Amino acid sequence: VKNFFDLKSLFSDDLSAVNSVISNSLSSKEHLVQEVGSYLIQSGGKRIRPILTLLFSKICGYSGDKHILLASAVELIHVATLLHDDVIDESSTRRNKPTANFTWGNKASILVGDFLFSQSFKLMVKSESVAALQSLSNASSTIAEGEVMQLARLYQNRMISIDEYEEIAKAKTAALFSASTHVGAIIANQHFDIQEACKEFGAILGLIFQITDDMLDYFSDPSKSGKNLGDDLAQGSITAPVIIAYNKANSEDKKKIEDIFFGNDRGSKFEEIKSILVQYDTESLITNYVDAHYKKALTTIPSIPHSAELTPYLYQILDYARSRNG
């Protein structure tokens, strides 16, 4: 059985090329830039976005070398976003390691984030594909808009609907997944409908990815997932598991959820919230919710060029996204 992680070995040459483009992008006379940048890049991550660009350019029949530049650009946008996110969320650890803002301070994180973001644009420009630039620059501004949306909801101190949640998740997460698959089809000069199918696959995958991410914040083993439990609660960020349990809850439990989220010591109420989530069987509810998106993603696959070697991975990636534990 093929596994998502097999893609890493399948694309190992391309991924080394991506890694070296990224290292070159981090090189700077200024030691602090290199230090922060390298720390982030080396602290790993799954490289799922650049792998998507490599996979979709190959499945769409692309044979040049722009995919390396664009896959690198996509990862740099992602890393730049993480740097700013950790400042916004006041996070002190990510993947069991201290965050850059914790180590070098918020100012360095903001500025190095800006630098990485600019470097990603330089790589896109180097690809000389105006359509790819369009897709990725749209994604970048959608991401920023999604982050502002999320912040604005926090300031509003109110329960949000699942539609509002999806709007944020689509903007802050799915947009970049979507651009990652889209640019693969773009540089391969695929027909518009095929480009759209690739884009849609990426968008749904990204949404599923965000939903499972938000589940892992309540239901995961931190030693395996590398995540802190309860970060979203501590930040007051209302995510799918909470909304879905809230919608099922009786009025007493609804009030409990509100009191906790809009009260002053959310941070200490993790077990309380979690027991409500368990009580309403949120894990099954989320599984059903994700399944609906999963099925929608499957419908895009017939419109994506078929490859005996690569098409099976499309299913594997979706399976990975919905059942991952870290």
**Of 270, 265, 267, residue with least CA distance to 241:** 270
Nearer to its own copies, 106 or 307 (CB): 106
x-or-dash pattern for its own copies, window 149-188, by CB under 8 A?
A: x-xx--x---------------------------------
Which CB, 108 or 260, lies closer to its own copies?
Answer: 108
User: Is residue 97 packed enough to be buried (19+ CB in 10 Å), middle (13-18) or exposed (0-12)?
Assistant: middle
For its own copies (CB under 8 A), the number of binding residues is: 41
Task: Among 57, 119, 181, 239, indicate the residue that binds its own copies (CB under 8 A).
Answer: 119
Q: Rounded to 5 degrees, what are φ and ψ at 27?
A: -70, 135
From candidates 54, 133, 197, 290, binder to its own copies by CB under 8 A: 133
Of the two residues 87 and 317, which places its CB atom closer to its own copies in the complex? 87
Question: From CA 62, how far away is CA 49, in angstroms rounded?
Answer: 17
Strand partners, 93: 98
Residues 19-48, interacting with its own copies (CB under 8 A): 28-33
Q: Are the CB atoms for 216 and 225 separated by under 8 Å?
A: yes
Determine which residue in the list 13, 65, 114, 259 makes contact with its own copies, applying CB under 8 A.
114
Q: How far is the CB of 223 from its own copies (least distance, A)?
A: 30
DSSP letter for each residue of 239-303: -HHHHHHHHHS-HHHHHHHHHHHTSS-GGG-HHHHHHHHHHTTHHHHHHHHHHHHHHHHHHHGGG
What separation in angstroms does the CA of 323 have from each of 181, 227, 229?
21, 16, 18
219 near its own copies (CB under 8 A): no
Please give the radius of gyration of the chain, using alpha carbons only, rounded to the nearest integer: 20
Least distance CB 304 / its own copies (angstroms)? 26
Task: Give min distance, CB of 280 to its own copies, in A.
Answer: 31
Which tokens belong to 82?
Answer: 């993480």
Residue numbers at the binding site for its own copies (CB under 8 A): 28-33, 84, 87-88, 106-108, 110-112, 114-115, 117-119, 121-122, 124-125, 128, 130, 133-134, 137-138, 140-141, 143-145, 147-149, 151-152, 155
